[in-house]
A and B are shown apart, each in its own frame.
Chain A
Amino acid sequence: MSDRPLTVAEAAASLRRGEVSSVELTTTCIDRANEIDGELGCFLSRFDSTALAAARAADHDFAEGIDRGPLQGIPVAVKDLIASQEGPTTAHSLVPDPPAPAGVDATTVSRLRQGGAVLMGKTSLSEFAFGTPDPDSGLPIPRNPWAVERWPGGSSSGTASGVAAGLFLAGLGSDTGGSIRIPAALCGITGLKPTLGLVPTAGCIPLAWSLDTIGPMARTAEDCEAMLDVLRGKVQSAGQVVDTEPDQGLTGLRIGVERVHHDGRVGVGDEVVHAFEQALAILAEAGAHVDEVVLDHYDEALAATLIITHVEALAHHRANLRDRWGDYGAVTRNLLSHGAFYSGSDYVAAQQVRAVVRHEVDRLFDCRDVIITPTVGAVAPRLDEDLLAFMPLLFTGIWNIAGNPALSIPAGVVESLPVGMQVVGRPYDEHTVLRVGRVFQQRSDWHRRMPELSTSRRPVT
């Protein structure tokens, strides 16, 4: 293994060349977690023994000539609101809310297993994908490997920090308003929110029933594509590994860049804007045609996203809020209570706004292939800052009510901290979104940067 953790593509190739075994990969990840996870708060539960057993099974299959696809033998982790047969699903909360009977996998976890992935454990998150880190709960505080006094982003915090720090090669997050893309941006990794409905959410604790998505988080767009193929249930060809395509550029691709509601927003850092523009220039140099777009009704879209999220979240948590108020974190129960402030007609109005926004977004895609924005307008905030005040700088929620696939890729470093660029495509056109990410990563090295925390404590192999 090199100084930096392998990507899924690199590990898949090494496994098939016999240069490394799944047991070696898994053992390295376990050692790494033993060394640094006490500081990172990435895992809520670890499955070391079953992971090693799965790794041995993957190695045995390789030896027998059985190849289940690009994830065979690859160490992965899953956000702890997605059910797995190994143990309870906590949603990083003291309030029990099992999404599936004991011993049952969520559909996505089942598909990872069928693909031969090695499940390392379950990762930390914002409580029920909604709160902020709560020091009073006694549960781990997720920390950013680039600066442990900072937030890794949420809500898929542990999956992002674990990939960034090399505790596993890829993982699952969920995204209702940006919960895959935000931590991906703040931790310097790649994360994809698939088209709403593409990846099954069965066995996942819901946040907002009509917005939730499950998607891949990894070091590269190429790795996310390999994960997505498995998650969506695409049948893998025997022996198929990650499809490493040569850089074919982006000639003919039409990019719409949205600056109006991003660059000028209060609190957006000049250096973040500068990094975004430099990243955009790389795409233009690759042959893409770039023009400016404006998202109409942006503020209405964000308001609708919040209304739908709050109302649907309260609908799920209502009974537990009544019976176990004190077991929720203070921020979580406060936010959940906001759902009671909206009327039924407000909720319907928000869904109507959603339909308008979808229609307007569709029109923008009539003559463009992707829309690009910064993912977040600032670097990771310190954990002792007011994290709710950070929310207006998150540029992700509109794509949840629109439903489009949206990818965050590392696009620069500001003040020694990573920033991300968001690539949005037409519904079900993940291929184009990931192609843009792949070409960008063939022409940049932001996704290869490692935080000091993990480079100073190198893998043992």
Chain B
Amino acid sequence: MSKEDEGPPGRDGETRVEGDETIVLALLHAAEIEPHPEELVQLVAAFPLVRARAILVRQMNVHGIEPAASSSGEIAAPRTGP
């Protein structure tokens, strides 16, 4: 795990949660999402799990892989208008 992935520095858990809340608020604001205050607590609680998923995929070695690599044929994902 890199320094960047560890999140904002903090001396204890409480400080870290406050850091998460700041990040969560900023990310939601950027997405124009305004949760009810009691829901913000749930979103902050979910944030470490979400971050863990992102770290997992960031750490995977994808060197040499090309988009839609498939030996048995391209799998399309077409979507056209109704």
B and A form one assembly:
yes
Say whether B71 contacts A334, CB under 8 Å. Answer: no
Q: Given the complex of chains A and B, what is the CA–CA distance between A333 and B34 in angstroms?
A: 11
- A304 vs B30: C-alpha distance when bound (angstroms): 23
The residue in B24, B42, B70 that gathers the most chain A C-beta atoms within 10 A of its C-beta is: B70
Query: In the docked arrangement, what's the CA distance between A351 and B69, Å?
Result: 11
Q: Label chain A's interface by main secondary structure.
A: helix
9-residue interface stretch from A97-105, A153-161, A410-418: A97-105
Name A358's contact: one of B57, B68, B82 (CB within 8 Å): B68
Do the beta carbons of B82 and A333 come within 8 Å of each other?
A: no
Contact A428 B73 (CB under 8 A): yes
**Can you list, as one digit per residue, whether each of A264-302 has a CB less than 8 Å from chain B (1) or not (0)?**
000000000000000000000000000000000101100
How long is the Cα–Cα vector from A321 to B28 in the complex, in angstroms?
A: 11
Q: B68's closest neighbor in chain A, by CB? A: A355
Q: Is the CB of B80 within 8 A of A340?
A: no
Cα distance A200–B79 in the bound complex, in angstroms: 7
CA distance A83 to B51 in the complex (A): 36
Q: Are A349 and B72 in contact (CB under 8 A)?
A: no
| Cα(A83)–Cα(B81), bound, Å | 12
Q: Provide the bound-state CA to CA distance between A104 and B81, in Å.
A: 12
**Which of A83, A106, A351, A355 gathers the greatest number of chain B CB atoms within 10 Å?**
A355
Contacts of A196 in B (CB 8 A): 75-77
Chain B facing A: main interface SS: loop
Closest Cβ of chain A: how far from B55's Cβ, in Å?
Answer: 9
Query: Is residue A126 contacting chain B, with contact meaning CB distance below 8 A?
Result: no
Residue on B nearest A365 in the bound complex, by CB:
B72
- Judged by a CB distance under 8 angstroms, whether A201 is at the interface is yes
**A359/B70 in contact, CB under 8 A:** yes
- 41-64 of chain B: CB within 8 A of chain A: 42-43, 46-47, 50-51, 53-54, 56-58, 60, 62
Cα A120 to Cα B40 with chains together (Å)? 41
Contact between chains at B82 and A325 (CB < 8 Å)? no
Task: Confirm or deny: B31 has a beta carbon within 8 angstroms of a beta carbon on chain A.
Answer: yes
The interface size bin for chain B is 35 or more
Tell me whether B33 and A346 are in contact (CB under 8 A): no
17 additional A-B pairs beyond A299-B56, A362-B70, beta carbons within 8 Å, are A106-B82, A200-B78, A201-B79, A314-B31, A318-B32, A322-B32, A325-B35, A330-B39, A334-B43, A340-B33, A346-B58, A349-B58, A352-B65, A358-B69, A358-B70, A359-B70, A427-B70
**Chain B residues at the A interface, C-beta cutoff of 8 Å:** 24, 27-28, 30-36, 39, 42-43, 46-47, 50-51, 53-54, 56-58, 60, 62, 65-73, 75-82
**A residues bordering B, Cβ < 8 Å?**
83, 99-101, 104, 106-107, 195-197, 200-203, 206, 209-212, 297, 299-300, 303-304, 306-307, 310, 314, 318, 321-322, 325, 330, 333-334, 337-343, 345-346, 349-353, 355-356, 358-359, 362-363, 365-366, 403, 426-428
